[in-house]
Amino acid sequence: MSAVPARAALPPGAASREVERHRGDAVERVRDAVAEEVPVALLYNDRPHVVMMATPQDLDDFALGFSLSEGILDAAGELESVVVTPLLEGIELRLRVPPARAEALEERRRNLTGRTSCGLCGAQALEDAVRQPAAVRGGPRIDDAILRHALAQMHERQPLNAVTGATHAAAWARVDGTLAHVREDVGRHNALDKLVGALVRAGEDVHAGFLVVTSRASYEMVQKAATAGIALIAAISAPTALAIQLAETTGVTLIGFARRDSHVVYTQPQRLAARQEASP
């Protein structure tokens, strides 16, 4: 990325480090902006559940979104409180949930470290890893122009990636293509969890918009989105075969290779129509 002036204000989640930059035969020492990545531990009713490597911003959204997208909670109201505690080793998120939820979680408790590229780390059984969400009903109907309008806004809505080049983004577009919420993180799953939390906190109707992600559409991204009730996903990169299978069985419209002038619809194409030409 470009050199960072010594007193430049960085967006939350970025840090400044001195680096040695080589360009052709020239070598210079400059300040560079890099994305922060810290261990974030989630504890439910004081019991450790999982540690994720994440960008330390929007952590209240992350706590709620992770709890919902992982099926730990069924509704936002079940999250009674979140206490964010910075520690020398990382950050603790202490979540208070109803005892019945904590007991159910204990039965499938995962206490392993999840890495930024792995949304299934810590799953102890196949049924934990390959979880089938309920079918998604309804959802928006959009056309190509609306999708492209949403994509056109993505770059300017990613301030952290603009200075670091190291983060993913998950964005919520309304039915006219306007981006209403965007969350960034070094982990694509974390960015989606943060977005889910933000949507719920804002009272957004998940049937009245669609998801845009800057990563590939892996199985767990579709799983999280479907669990949250999101019916249409547009990914800038490719989906996997298992993601396509899950999207089909859960009724999710899955779009890959989304660009300003092209895209590929893999499942449930009825929600996306080609742009209609005006009548004579």
Look up residue 154 and give its two tokens: 């993505």
Considering the domain architecture, whether residues 54 and 157 belong to the same structural domain is answered as: no
Q: 202 near 209, Cβ under 8 Å?
A: no
pLDDT tens, position by position, 167-184:
999 999 999 999 999 999
Provide the pLDDT for residue 271: 97
Would the pLDDT of 101 be above 90?
yes
Look up residue 235 and give its two tokens: 């990914």
In a domain, 14, yes or no: no
Would the pLDDT of 89 be above 50?
yes
How do the residues of the chain divide into helix, strand and coil, expressed in percent and rounded to 5?
30, 30, 40
> What confidence tier does 107 reach under pLDDT thresholds 50, 70, 90?
confident
Considering the domain architecture, whether residues 177 and 248 belong to the same structural domain is answered as: yes
Provide the pLDDT for residue 114: 46
pLDDT tens, position by position, 48-67:
999 999 999 999 999 999 99
Q: CB under 8 Å to 3, separation ≥6 — which residues?
A: 21, 30, 31, 32
Provide the pLDDT for residue 103: 94
Following CA atoms 231, 232, 233, 234 in sequence, which dihedral angle do they give, to the nearest 10 degrees?
A: 180
Provide the pLDDT for residue 43: 97
Residue type, 132: Q
pLDDT tens, position by position, 123-171:
555 555 678 899 999 999 999 999 999 999 999 999 999 999 999 999 9
Mean per-residue pLDDT for 196-210?
Answer: 97
Considering the domain architecture, whether residues 230 and 115 belong to the same structural domain is answered as: no
Residue in the block written with tokens 């560079």 = 32
Catalytic residue among 3, 118, 129, 175: 118
Q: 56 near 91, Cβ under 8 Å?
A: yes
Look up residue 160 and give its two tokens: 């952290």
Would the pLDDT of 23 be above 80?
yes
121: annotated active-site residue: no
Would the pLDDT of 112 be above 50?
no
Arithmetic mean of pLDDT over the chain: 90
Provide the pLDDT for residue 260: 87
Provide the pLDDT for residue 149: 97
- Looking at 129, 155, 188, which one is the last position of a domain? 129
pLDDT tens, position by position, 71-84:
999 999 999 999 99
Helical pair 219-227 and 59-69, crossing angle rounded to 10 deg? 90
Considering the domain architecture, whether residues 166 and 89 belong to the same structural domain is answered as: no
Considering the domain architecture, whether residues 65 and 166 belong to the same structural domain is answered as: no
C-alpha distances in Å from residue 155, one per residue of 96, 160, 163: 36, 10, 11
Following CA atoms 76, 80, 85, 90 in sequence, which dihedral angle do they give, to the nearest 10 degrees?
A: -40
Considering the domain architecture, whether residues 84 and 162 belong to the same structural domain is answered as: no
CATH number for position 101: 3.10.20.10
> What confidence tier does 2 reach under pLDDT thresholds 50, 70, 90?
low
Provide the pLDDT for residue 109: 66
Look up residue 206 and give its two tokens: 């998940």
Provide the pLDDT for residue 175: 97
Contacts of residues 70-76 at CB distance under 8 Å and 24 or more positions apart, as own/partner, are 70/224, 70/227, 71/131, 71/133, 71/227, 72/44, 72/97, 72/101, 72/105, 73/97, 73/101, 76/200, 76/201
Provide the pLDDT for residue 116: 47
For the chain, what is the radius of gyration of the CA atoms?
20
Provide the pLDDT for residue 113: 40
Mean per-residue pLDDT for 214-239?
Answer: 97
Look up residue 89 and give its two tokens: 């080793």
Q: How many domains does the chain have?
A: 2
Determine what percent of the chain is predicted with pLDDT higher than 70: 88
**Full residue range of the structural domain in which residue 261 is found:** 142-273
In a domain, 189, yes or no: yes
CATH number for position 173: 3.40.140.10
Q: 206 near 232, Cβ under 8 Å?
A: no
